[in-house]
């Protein structure tokens, strides 16, 4: 299973964090700091796999964002690269040509999409279209509520 | 979608802050406003306030005051508020917080909500941060959802069940039937969740594993369907149909086929098919192939399939993509023990990967190269490794040096080569070697008697070039001290001799002594070497005398002590000087863990502290450093006469001393060659017999049998054993710890003994039991076994 998924910028600013095991706040900060240091120090054309403590770390850079996740021993690293790629595709489909700003200003949507794709550290849905459909329907449900309340959501 | 104006406005303001201080100010103001809003009654803005708080939390600021608000929002009937509330719960709460208990009820209600999106929120949160109690509480709900709901909920319930099984393994039994039935679903999401759930159940429970082996044909069919299916736009990734599901099925098949021939046979064809048909030009295909290779190597596959798998890994090694090379080396590492020859074929490529730019690839290549070293390829491989050492990244140096030393020790084709290799490593990376290198090298040099001349010449040359590498300098000093006469003789067969005078040599040693680069230990070496030379040179003894007396007032206490003692050697004990400083005898190679070698002189041996309570070494000499796990010797008093050779017959019954529990009840136990079992202990109606089951050249298996002739049961029976130092002991689990009364039953325990050095075998057994509510504890010594002696 995945232990965590982090998104951070080239300057080391965190854009999204998802933890799939219970971790204390202090430990979270420590992990984030170490991941950021380790991944940002890697030269451009290097291998996407690292070893850290007892976990395998897989990271991929998309434009200005680094997607980094920690895997357990049994997990398939190459498949995890595909998982990261699929998540980016889902974000792209939802936001239309996604960029870092979209994820900054709509972070809660990024989380909702992630929650439709991964759960408990495992892949929830393998179909490309199903996640998008679920998001749309949830939005509809939400808008119905908004119209009813005639107030913006946030 | 309506834009989230107020949240986005806040984000814009925060990002506009030019300094850290400004940002902190903005955030403090916002947090204060949020806190005030939280305290107010419901005014329809709660969800947006929480969202703002979550953003602030992500920047790293404290947000714990939002926890209760999450709880309130989750309980709200409005979907948008629930959504943010659950998100907040997943970000701010975890099972350690008290507030998480409060949402259990909300989750329970939401699991039966009419809207599937509310249900899915609850499931998601439960799978993210559900504690063990919450899981136990809600497991029946999840089971219900697994069986009767639409596929959207089923797939989420499946992964929620996975989380529950991880938290509370006993719940596995609850989910097994539902998991089985999920395999017949069509929806890929549900199938994937089912496979993950089954994998989890099988990994934790061997009975469940047995059960699910029957599902292997079904899984094989499912996989075949995926591999052979045509293009499906929904699931296609670079030409592979749903690689995520394929990989998970392969992983499950791996677990089911492990150690089981029938299951492995059933999947042989499938694996061959996948291995040959999968297109590996893109990552998705490589991922599936990789998982296939792992599965093939782990189950009981036929040899043709294994060869195919190793060839795939070989192909991966030549791939341009670094990731794939890395992966293939990781897999080769796993199989290098079992399929050594197959991996050897790729040695050339692996060694080339040592020169790769990437640090991860280098590391993998190093591990694999070290694993591939053998007597045949040691010379060529060592050349490559030494080349690697000169350019390797600093974090790998220590590992490389220790790997090289291990390999050299195991497979050195000649002593000269061995010494050369170690010297090369010391000159290249002397700062990163282990501490034991210096004594090990010295020991090696002393054993290579024909090479003393060669070695001292080489070391002298290295010393005059560079004295910064401490380990090298220490060895060099030691050698020059020992074999300085060979150096001065000016002739050497193996290498070009140096023409040095005594002054040159003493100059070199003095440079080391005075240099600020030398560590205290190194200076100690240099001083001792200088002293030793006093018996090996003829002209400059006075110079040595003066050096030694100067250091008699050195600030370093160790050096001072040495100098003073050597001074005394010059002054008062000059007649002994030659004898004291003569050539050292060949040092025996001491095995790791012993601080003193096994010399014939009966030196005191120190005990290794052991972690197993059932395996203790007892000293052959009186020693107060008894490892206290069993306290066999009671702290003082040693029943044995100090005698290094244990082949003598056992001394008479020992007198027990203060605190000694030594009740030697053997009295009169002589070696009787024939009888299969012998009574070793008889007291309070408890009888302990020892029987030799099997015996080989270096080991034996004995069985201890305990019977009870009293009127009451003996309970809490434990047996512990200790053996001489070089013998290895393994006690199997006893058959029980209660001996029924009146001899109606018995307890047996098997003990495996391994005696590679063929020392005289003795075993000391301590018996503890409770008889008629009183605890008894006795120790017996067994010196001879009921079989032919070694």
pLDDT band at A150 (very low <50, low <70, confident <90, very high): low
Report the largest interatomic distance among the alpha carbons of chain B, rounded to a whole angstrom: 105
Helix/strand/coil percent split, chain B, to 5:
55, 10, 35
Q: What is the pLDDT of residue B2?
A: 34
Q: Which residue of B has its CA nearest to A152?
A: B2
For residues A9-22, give the mean pLDDT.
93
Contact A46 B51 (CB under 8 A): no
Mutation target to probe the A interface, by most A beta carbons within 10 A, among B9, B116, B127, B187 is B127
Query: Which carries the bigger pLDDT value, residue A149 or residue B266?
Result: B266
Count, residues in chain A:
154
CA distance B739 to B745: 6
Shortest Cα distance from A24 to chain B (angstroms)? Answer: 8
- Residue A32 token pair: 């984030």
CA distance B679 to B780: 11
Mean pLDDT, all residues of chain B: 82
Mutation target to probe the B interface, by most B beta carbons within 10 A, among A17, A79, A90, A143 is A79
CA distance B535 to B643: 37
CA distance readout (Å), B785 to B320, B618, B706, B763, B790: 64, 18, 17, 9, 10
Instruction: Determine contact: A28 vs chain B, CB below 8 A.
Output: no
pLDDT band at B616 (very low <50, low <70, confident <90, very high): very low
Q: What is the pLDDT of residue A149?
A: 58
pLDDT band at B293 (very low <50, low <70, confident <90, very high): very high
Query: Which carries the bigger pLDDT value, residue B749 or residue B494?
Result: B749
Query: Nearest 5°: phi and psi at B248?
Result: -65, -40
How many other CB atoms sit within 10 Å of the CB of residue B621?
Answer: 14
Please name the residues in contact with B125: beta carbons below 8 A apart, sequence gap of 6 or more. B86, B89, B90, B103, B107
For residues B325-334, give the mean pLDDT.
90
Paired strand residues for A139 = none
Write down the residue that tokens 């001792």 correspond to. B528
Q: What is the pLDDT of residue B579?
A: 83
Closest CA to B76 of B114, B39, B47, B36: B47
Q: What is the pLDDT of residue B630?
A: 43
Contact A74 B251 (CB under 8 A): yes
Q: DSSP letter string over B109-132?
A: HHHT-SSHHHHHHHHHHHHHH--H
Instruction: Determine contact: A125 vs chain B, CB below 8 A.
Output: yes
Q: What is the pLDDT of residue B657?
A: 41
Q: What is the pLDDT of residue A39?
A: 95
Q: Which residue of B has its CA nearest to A133?
A: B152
Q: What is the pLDDT of residue A145?
A: 66
For residues B592-608, give the mean pLDDT.
38
Q: What is the pLDDT of residue B344?
A: 87
- Is residue B421 predicted with pLDDT exceeding 80? yes
Q: pLDDT > 70: what percent of chain B?
A: 87
Mutation target to probe the B interface, by most B beta carbons within 10 A, among A78, A86, A130, A137 is A78
For residues B330-355, give the mean pLDDT.
87
> Tell me: the pLDDT tens digits for B501-527?
888 888 888 888 888 888 888 899 999
Shortest Cα distance from B273 to chain A (angstroms)? Answer: 20
Q: What is the pLDDT of residue B598?
A: 37
CA distance B430 to B473: 10
Shortest Cα distance from B52 to chain A (angstroms)? Answer: 9
Q: Which residue of A has its CA nearest to B286?
A: A78
Q: What is the pLDDT of residue B653?
A: 40
pLDDT band at B597 (very low <50, low <70, confident <90, very high): very low
Cβ–Cβ < 8 Å for B124, B153: no
Count, residues in chain B:
790
Shortest Cα distance from B398 to chain A (angstroms)? Answer: 17
Q: What is the pLDDT of residue B533?
A: 87
Q: DSSP letter string over B374-436?
A: -TTTHHHHHHHHHHHHHH--HHHHHHHHHHHHHHHHHH-SSHHHHHHHHHHHHHHHGGGS-TT
> Tell me: the pLDDT tens digits for A57-81?
999 999 999 999 999 999 999 999 9
- Is residue B589 predicted with pLDDT exceeding 80? no
Lowest mean pLDDT among A26-30, A40-44, A117-121, B622-626: B622-626
Contact A78 B324 (CB under 8 A): yes
Q: Which residue of A has its CA nearest to B321?
A: A47
CB pairs under 8 A between A and B: 178
For residues A127-153, give the mean pLDDT.
80
Which pTM value belongs to this model?
0.71
- Is residue B143 predicted with pLDDT exceeding 90? yes
CA distance B93 to A23: 10
**Within the 52-81 window of chain A, which residues sit less than 8 Å (CB to CB) from chain B?**
74, 76-79, 81
For residues B272-293, give the mean pLDDT.
92
Cβ–Cβ < 8 Å for A16, B91: no
pLDDT band at B629 (very low <50, low <70, confident <90, very high): very low
> Tell me: the pLDDT tens digits for B56-103?
999 989 888 889 899 999 998 889 899 999 999 999 988 777 788 888
CA distance B627 to B239: 64
pLDDT band at B787 (very low <50, low <70, confident <90, very high): low
Mapping DSSP to helix (H, G, I), strand (E, B) and coil, where does residue A126 land? coil
For residues A108-125, give the mean pLDDT.
95
3-state SS of A12-77 is: CCEEEEEECCCCCHHHHHHHHHHHHHHHHCCCCCCCCEEEECCEEEEEEEECCEEEEEEECCCCCH
- Is residue B642 predicted with pLDDT exceeding 60? no
Q: What is the pLDDT of residue A147?
A: 64
Shortest Cα distance from A142 to chain B (angstroms)? Answer: 6
Contact B58 A107 (CB under 8 A): yes
CA distance B639 to B618: 12
> Tell me: the pLDDT tens digits for B708-729?
877 777 788 888 888 887 788 8
Contact A76 B96 (CB under 8 A): no
Shortest Cα distance from A13 to chain B (angstroms)? Answer: 8
**Within the 35-74 window of chain B, which residues sit less than 8 Å (CB to CB) from chain A?**
44, 47-48, 51-52, 54-55, 58-60
Burial class (CB in 10 A: 0-12, 13-18, 19+), B36: exposed
- Residue A112 token pair: 């909702």
Mutation target to probe the B interface, by most B beta carbons within 10 A, among A11, A13, A22 is A22
Paired strand residues for A118 = A123
- Is residue B602 predicted with pLDDT exceeding 50? no
Write down the residue that tokens 């030793």 correspond to. B532
Burial class (CB in 10 A: 0-12, 13-18, 19+), B230: exposed
Paired strand residues for B677 = B691
Lowest mean pLDDT among A67-81, B134-148, B383-397, B662-676: B662-676
Among the partner residues A76, A127, A146, nearest to B287 by beta-carbon distance = A76
How many other CB atoms sit within 10 Å of the CB of residue B387?
Answer: 14
Q: Which residue of B has its CA nearest to A18?
A: B91
- Residue B504 token pair: 């040159």
């Amino acid at each position: 299973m995945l232990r965590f998924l982090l998104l951070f910028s080239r300057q080391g600013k965190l854009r999204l964090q998802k933890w799939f095991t219970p971790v204390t706040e202090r430990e979270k900060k420590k992990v984030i700091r170490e991941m950021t240091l380790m991944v940002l120090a890697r030269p451009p054309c290097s291998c996407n796999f690292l070893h850290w403590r007892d976990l395998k770390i897989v990271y991929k850079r998309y434009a200005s964002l680094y997607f980094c996740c920690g895997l357990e021993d049994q997990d398939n690293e190459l498949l995890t690269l595909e998982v990261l790629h699929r998540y980016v595709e889902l974000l792209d489909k939802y936001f239309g040509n996604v960029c870092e700003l979209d994820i900054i200003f709509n972070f809660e949507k990024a989380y909702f999409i992630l929650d439709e794709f991964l759960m408990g550290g495992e892949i929830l849905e393998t179909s490309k279209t199903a996640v998008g459909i679920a998001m749309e329907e949830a939005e509809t449900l939400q808008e119905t509520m908004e119209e009813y309340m005639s107030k913006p959501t946030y | 979608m309506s834009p989230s104006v107020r949240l986005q406005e806040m984000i814009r303001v925060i990002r506009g802050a030019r300094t850290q201080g400004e940002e902190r100010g903005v955030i403090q103001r916002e947090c204060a406003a949020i806190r005030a809003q939280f305290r107010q009654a419901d005014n329809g803005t709660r969800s947006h306030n929480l969202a703002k708080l979550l953003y602030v939390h992500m920047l790293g600021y404290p947000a714990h005051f939002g926890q209760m608000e999450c709880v309130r929002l989750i309980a709200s009937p409005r979907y948008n508020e629930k959504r943010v509330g659950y998100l907040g719960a997943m970000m701010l709460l975890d099972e350690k917080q008290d507030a998480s208990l409060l949402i259990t009820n909300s989750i329970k209600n939401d699991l039966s909500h009419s809207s599937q999106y509310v249900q899915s929120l609850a499931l998601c949160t439960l799978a993210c941060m559900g504690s063990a109690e919450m899981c136990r509480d809600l497991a029946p709900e999840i089971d219900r959802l697994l069986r009767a709901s639409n596929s959207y909920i089923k797939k989420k319930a499946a992964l929620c069940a996975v989380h529950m099984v991880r938290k509370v393994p006993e719940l596995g039994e609850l989910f097994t039937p539902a998991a089985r039935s999920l395999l017949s679903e069509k929806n890929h999401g549900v199938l994937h969740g089912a496979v993950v759930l089954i994998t989890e159940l099988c990994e934790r429970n061997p009975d469940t594993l047995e059960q699910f082996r029957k599902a292997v044909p079904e899984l094989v069919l499912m996989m075949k369907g995926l591999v052979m299916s045509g293009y499906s736009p929904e699931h296609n990734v670079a030409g592979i149909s749903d690689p995520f599901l394929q990989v998970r099925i392969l992983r499950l098949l791996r677990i089911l086929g492990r150690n089981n021939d029938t299951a492995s046979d059933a999947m042989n064809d499938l694996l061959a098919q996948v291995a040959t048909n999968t297109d590996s030009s893109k990552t998705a295909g490589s991922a599936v192939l990789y998982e296939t290779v792992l599965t093939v190597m782990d189950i009981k596959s036929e040899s043709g399939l294994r060869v195919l798998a190793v060839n795939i890994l070989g192909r991966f090694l030549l791939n341009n993509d670094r990731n794939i090379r890395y992966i293939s080396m990781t897999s080769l590492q796993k199989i290098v023990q079992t399929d050594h020859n197959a991996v050897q074929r790729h040695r050339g490529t692996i060694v080339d990967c040592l020169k790769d730019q990437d640090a991860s690839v280098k590391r993998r290549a190093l591990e694999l190269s070290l694993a591939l070293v053998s007597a045949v390829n040691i010379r060529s491989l060592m050349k490559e490794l030494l080349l690697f050492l000169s350019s390797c990244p600093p974090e790998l140096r220590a590992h490389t040096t220790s790997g090289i030393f291990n390999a050299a020790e195991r497979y050195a084709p000649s002593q000269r080569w061995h010494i050369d290799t170690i010297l090369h490593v010391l000159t290249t990376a002397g700062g990163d070697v282990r501490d034991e290198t210096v004594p090990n090298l010295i020991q090696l040099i002393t054993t290579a008697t024909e090479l003393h001349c060669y070695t001292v010449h080489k070391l002298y040359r290295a010393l005059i070039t560079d004295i910064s590498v401490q380990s090298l300098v220490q060895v060099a000093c030691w050698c020059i001290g020992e074999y300085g006469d060979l150096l001065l003789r000016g002739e050497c067969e193996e290498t070009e001799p140096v023409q040095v005078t005594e002054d040159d040599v003493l100059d070199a040693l003095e440079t080391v002594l005075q240099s600020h680069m030398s560590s205290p230990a190194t200076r100690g070496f240099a001083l001792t070497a200088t002293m030793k030379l006093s018996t090996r040179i003829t002209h400059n003894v006075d110079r040595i005398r003066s050096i030694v007396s100067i250091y008699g007032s050195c600030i370093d206490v160790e050096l001072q002590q040495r100098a003073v003692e050597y001074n005394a050697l010059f002054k008062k004990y000059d007649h002994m000087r030659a004898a004291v400083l003569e050539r050292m005898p060949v040092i025996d190679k001491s095995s790791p863990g012993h601080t003193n070698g096994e010399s014939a002189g009966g030196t005191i041996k120190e005990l290794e502290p052991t972690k197993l309570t059932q395996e203790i070494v007892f000293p052959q000499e009186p020693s107060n450093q008894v490892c206290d796990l069993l306290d066999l010797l009671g702290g003082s008093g040693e029943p044995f006469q100090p005698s290094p050779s244990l082949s003598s017959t056992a001394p008479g019954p020992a007198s027990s001393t203060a605190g000694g529990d030594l009740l030697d009840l053997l009295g009169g136990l002589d070696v009787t060659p024939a009888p299969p079992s012998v009574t070793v202990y008889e007291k309070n109606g408890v009888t302990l017999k020892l029987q030799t089951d099997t015996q080989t050249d270096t080991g034996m298996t004995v069985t201890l049998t305990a019977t009870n002739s009293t009127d009451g049961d003996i309970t809490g029976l434990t047996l512990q054993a200790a053996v001489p130092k070089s013998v290895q002991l393994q006690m199997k689990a006893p058959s029980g710890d209660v001996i029924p009364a009146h001899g109606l039953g018995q307890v047996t325990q098997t003990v495996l003994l391994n005696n590679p050095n063929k020392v005289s075998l003795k075993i000391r057994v301590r018996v503890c039991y409770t008889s008629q509510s009183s605890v008894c504890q006795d120790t017996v010594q067994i010196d001879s076994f009921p079989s032919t002696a070694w």
